[in-house]
A and B are shown apart, each in its own frame.
Chain A
């Protein structure tokens, strides 16, 4: 990167920035605070120099609703005038100087930024790459860091069937490099409820003799649309192929609103706006009163029997936020219609507007999209954190409005509790006891490259422990929480971290640092909030990631009767290889298998090329794992017909200094199929 070239020598830069700052090869997390080991002053000077050289460019200056005297800058990293995806940092400044810097920077891109494809040609390539239709916006030329190195890419969007997809294509060849859905969903198959007969006040406007669900009392426009079950139109609106009209806004003739889906959606969105303002001093999703758009009734219940599973999963049994959808392309949430009893069995999923925490969860994605921008790509931990913060703030909203309890319209730590009928039978996730829903409560249980909702509970459980205290079920470590009466301290610290401290490529470890810094900012060093948050992250096993690790999940694994390599039974598992602070190149790997009596079966494995062919679940297949990134694979294990046994995997890799490291997963028990 040009900054480092101007520094003179790389080693000189490393010396001035500290070992955790800008090191050669791959992205580096930057976590510098006044109390931290990094030389904050030196980092500060380097940032200023990068700004002058336009390698860092200001993208936002968010207001600090909690500490008005603090200034915040959000800076995007550029390489020869081209933005590096995921390269950005936040800098917090007090009147007496810089307080903290958090970021992910790419120190040695070394990439030619002359693109062979024109933006128009790239747009066509984007559509072709995903077998969809590119949106009208011209794609952006970016530097895309993947595990096999940096790519000059065009980033654009395309509509594919029922989704809006972010697509990266090679700027020279048009080949697909990466894609991910723009819809950030809370797609949990569960049970639900509808409206509970509770009276609510709904802030609307009177227009031409009728009343429309357009909030006229809050500073931000909050508009609830009734798509009247027209999926085609819903898709057109989401994908900005057509504009919403006044006729799309939910309306009522006598201002006595009887559509519970509209009422709950509109009211809860207003309450969420109020919660942000009262708790955090924030003015809406972007802190500038960005309008909030909510789409209700995207489909008809009557159409459910003929709906495809994809449509059911997206528009009936789901809610999602789309950051570029809706009017003016600045985001909208869509609330699924729910699923009646009988479709999934004995339970019913209510309209997704019925749960305050779910509406607040989706809207928090809007906050994230306008602050930390944790988009889930290319760092999958960021995706999990995105979901985690939505759960945290979503549940925090319910605690602000609802009495404690496990019944409907009461607050507890289960996400989506109110959507499932019979009530009390379920929910989507528990942040107090993630294991209740099979989610991880400890960093060692994460599955990289897996559903971000799954991994999210590592962070949200830390949030819970910091408030309520308790003992982590995996580590056994006990946390002294601040207590429910002081929950606002933890909420504010985490929210502050999300909105002004965390970069888009945040990892769990960086989030730990940012939330601790936020607690220090708000409550002082040594405060109970800082102590609780530190203990909570310790308890869930999130530390600064330095050493490489490998993990094999789940443990134990339950057998399936499915074939695997032509053999029954089988075990479906995930392997994660996480680099620490050094780049790694895998040179060989090996799988060992044991039957129920402990006899070793035929091992398998291969060299680096074989590894690259197998480990492609978290990104492009490569034998290289850049520092702070992961490689992962979904595998199917068989024991040559044995119905139980165990397995473990070993890896050998070489780091940048030529040192060979060997890592072995724990030996995982494979249970007999049931």
Chain B
């Protein structure tokens, strides 16, 4: 949080430095970002599946590592340098999980067997729809460079494979067991959050610009497992990417035909 606020403040400072801001005149934009999520996320969950008529306790620590993300944004200028648009971001990553479980004994209550193991390849997806207000600041009159400051509410659709149970290897008399695998449930949830960020781009062609983007987003999402367990995770994160901007130019009024007088 602190990081992206600092970034935003730099951009704000840049925008206010010019007493006479250069007017942004484009009609709109389309931006495609190839980004990388540079923050990893750790979260934990507990599931209590009923095993041998007694609730087990399956504690799982998840870790979502850095991974590529894709962003597509589009917007139109609505007033002076202000544009309103939308951004769709997609991030997916296989996650790993460390599982510690206490599995009930089949014959007696209150004598769980402890097992530990790891699960990998758990799907984690985040699809984010960002409603975006974007302040566009060409720093020079040539308008070759452009600095954008954007932010707004986000709608996160988070999908996560969560560990809902474990399978164990056990033999009579069942006093000990070993971890065999994790049983997964794919859970998804939609939750509101927010995002902020900045782009710095430079025109490399008449209507195409290249640059970098830094953005951050966040939402707290609670996933529930089938047996009532829960996994709370922080969706979003900081991502840095290359931005490819397509300029939608201002409409130039067509030249009026000359008025022909009647002879």
Contact = CB atoms under 8 A, between A and B. Distances in A.
A640 interface: no
A532 to B, nearest CB: 28
B170 to A, nearest CB: 10
Interface in B164-197: 172-175
B172 A217 contact: yes
A274 B109 contact: no
Interface in A180-221: 199-201, 203, 217-219
Contact of B174 (A200, A217, A271): A217
A463 B192 CA distance: 72
Contacts of B54: 201
Contacts of A218: 172
Contact of A203 (B107, B109, B175): B107
Tell me whether chain B's interface is mostly helix, strand or loop, or mixed: loop
Interface in A38-54: none
A201 B173 contact: no
B172 A199 contact: no
Interface residues of B, number: 12
Nearest to A198: B109
B53 interface: yes
Contacts of A270: 107
B173 A278 contact: yes
Nearest to A267: B107
B107 A201 contact: yes
A200 B52 CA distance: 11
B109 A199 contact: yes
Contacts of A267: 107
Interface in A63-111: none
A274 B173 contact: yes
A203 B106 CA distance: 8
A274 B106 CA distance: 12
Contacts of B106: 201, 203, 217
Interface in B68-123: 105-109
B55 to A, nearest CB: 13
A207 to B, nearest CB: 18
A12 to B, nearest CB: 52
A201 B172 contact: no
A653 B236 CA distance: 103
B172 A219 contact: yes
A343 interface: no
B50 to A, nearest CB: 12
A344 interface: no
A277 interface: yes
Contacts of A401: 108
Contact of B52 (A199, A201, A271, A277): A201
Contacts of A271: 107-108
Interface in A270-294: 270-271, 274, 277-278
A201 B53 contact: yes
Nearest to A270: B107
Given A201-B52, A201-B53, A277 B107 contact: no
B109 to A, nearest CB: 6
Interface in B141-183: 172-175
A200 B109 CA distance: 7
A51 to B, nearest CB: 36
Interface in A383-430: 401
12 contacts: A199-B109, A200-B109, A201-B105, A201-B107, A203-B107, A217-B172, A217-B174, A219-B172, A274-B107, A277-B172, A277-B173, A401-B108
Interface of B: 52-54, 105-109, 172-175
Given A218-B172, A271-B108, 4 more contacts: A201-B54, A201-B105, A217-B106, A274-B173
